[in-house]
Structure 1
Amino acid sequence: MARPVLILFVLVTVGALLAGCGSGEPESPFPERPAEIDVSTVDLCRALTAEEQAELGVEPGRARTGELSNGPTRICGWSNFDDGNGYGVQTIADGAVVAVGGEDTTVDVIDGYGVVLATVYGESAPLCNIYVDVSDAESIRVQVQATQGDAGGIPSFETVCGRARALTSKVLRNLAAVTP
């Protein structure tokens, strides 16, 4: 009888020690945010100025709402049918940290905000998603997709993600300026 009690005591003690080692929230992979952006109230179609829309060759953005597996989302999208690039800004009802560690993702920083870059569809229509850490509970996803190739063929992820990085800088600057 003493042996099962001893085994139980050892298991409980080791379990308690291990639980103590892992207590607390995991450390964020992102730096401290320059400012929080309240994605629940900001007009996403104000993410690009009229001048920036002209530079991209797009008309004013088209606002939509939708439902993701984690909750409601708001989207503003712009398309350039001449060069085949599509641009979008979307609210996500989770912090950007949930995108960390996914397939084909990289953690980085843009304009002081922690981001996760995620790429898909490289063989056909490269899409670069950038999840921006704008608050603990929500994030913004900035997207650029090349829907047609140029004379050189399908653009590389490096090219598409370069466009997405530039777009993300504009989005952060513009949305931070209109956030109360």
Structure 2
Amino acid sequence: MAKATHGRTTVLLVAIAALLTGCSPDAPAGPFPPRPADIDTTSVDLCAALTTEQQDELGVEAGEPDSAELGDGPTRLCGWSNYRNGYNYSVQTTPVPAAVAVGTPDSTVQEIDGYGVVQVTANETSAPLCTYYVDTSDNLGLRTLTQLTGRDMRNESGAIEEVCQRAKAFTTQVIQNLRPAE
């Protein structure tokens, strides 16, 4: 009996060692590449996600901060709207990491500016929405939302592709403006 227990213990220790080897700090967590740096979503000024020049390019006024309660916890957000062309942009903290969005309907894993992201689309024929969940840290996340609400463009073929192109550019700006200085 002692030999059988010793054999099982050895097999168990080898299995644990193999698992731990796969958890080295250099190995990416989940489907994302290693982050260039964590973004502290607990203290970052979300309305600083767009510079004045970027706001001018998008045709939006200064962002408006807000807070809300999500099912998983509190969130902070900042939003910008262009009432002339119908595009709305917002950035929001999430109390869960971006990995929770992996595998959701209409989602794809991508990379923007070195950060893993999950793109999720919705409302393709009514008010097209493209959301990016950004892998900012192990425990918390950030998401950007870009939506077309302009009546003259909502039902056009290819509108969701245009919304997602704008969303990707917006998300790139958000990441670049909120990430810690190197």
Instruction: Tell me if TM exceeds 0.5.
Output: yes
Residue 73 (1) aligns with residue 75 (2): yes
- Contact 2:125–2:155 at 8 Å: present in 1 too? no
CA distance in 1, matches of 2:181, 2:48: 8
Pairs aligned (count) = 163
Residues 68 and 132 of structure 1: is their aligned pair in 2 closer, same or farther, counting only changes over 3 Å? same
Q: Please list the CA deviations of residues 111-150 of structure 1 after superposition, one character each: whole Å capped at 9, or x if unmatched.
A: 1100000011111000000000000111111010000144
Quote the offset at 1:156 in angstroms: 2.0
* Structure 1: gaps (5+ residues): 1-12
Aligned-pair identity (%): 50
Query: Which deviates more from structure 2 when the two are superposed, residues 75-84 or residues 150-159?
Result: 150-159
Equivalent pair of 1:96/1:132 in contact (CA under 8 Å):
yes
State the Cα deviation string for residues 90-131 of structure 1 (Å, max 9, x = none).
000111000000011000100110000001111100000000
- The one-character-per-residue Cα deviations of 1:132-180 (angstroms, maximum 9, x if unpaired) are 000011111101000014469535221111100000110001001479x
| Counterpart position of 2:150 | 148
2:85 to 83, 104, 121: 83
If the length of structure 2 is used for normalisation, what is the TM-score? Answer: 0.82
CA distance in structure 2 between the aligned counterparts of 1:177 and 1:150, rounded to whole angstroms:
39
1:23-62 per-position Cα deviation (integer Å, ceiling 9, x unaligned): 7789510000011000000000000000000000000000
1:42 touches 1:178 (CA, 8 Å); kept in 2? no
Do structure 1's residue 62 and structure 2's residue 68 form an aligned pair?
no
Q: What residue is the counterpart of 1:109 in the other structure?
A: 111
TM-score (structure 1 length as normaliser): 0.82
Q: Hey, which bits of structure 1, 4+ residues long, moved more than 3 A?
A: 23-27, 149-155
Say yes or no: does 1:171 pair with 2:174. Answer: yes
CA distance in 2, matches of 1:92, 1:44: 12
The answer on whether the counterparts of 1:85 and 1:146 sit within 8 Å (CA) in structure 2 is yes
CA RMSD in angstroms comes to 2.4
Equivalent residue, structure 2, for 1:8: none
Q: Which moved more, 1:118-127 or 1:148-157?
A: 148-157
What runs of 5+ residues in structure 2 fail to find an aligned partner?
1-7
Match of 2:98 in 1: 96
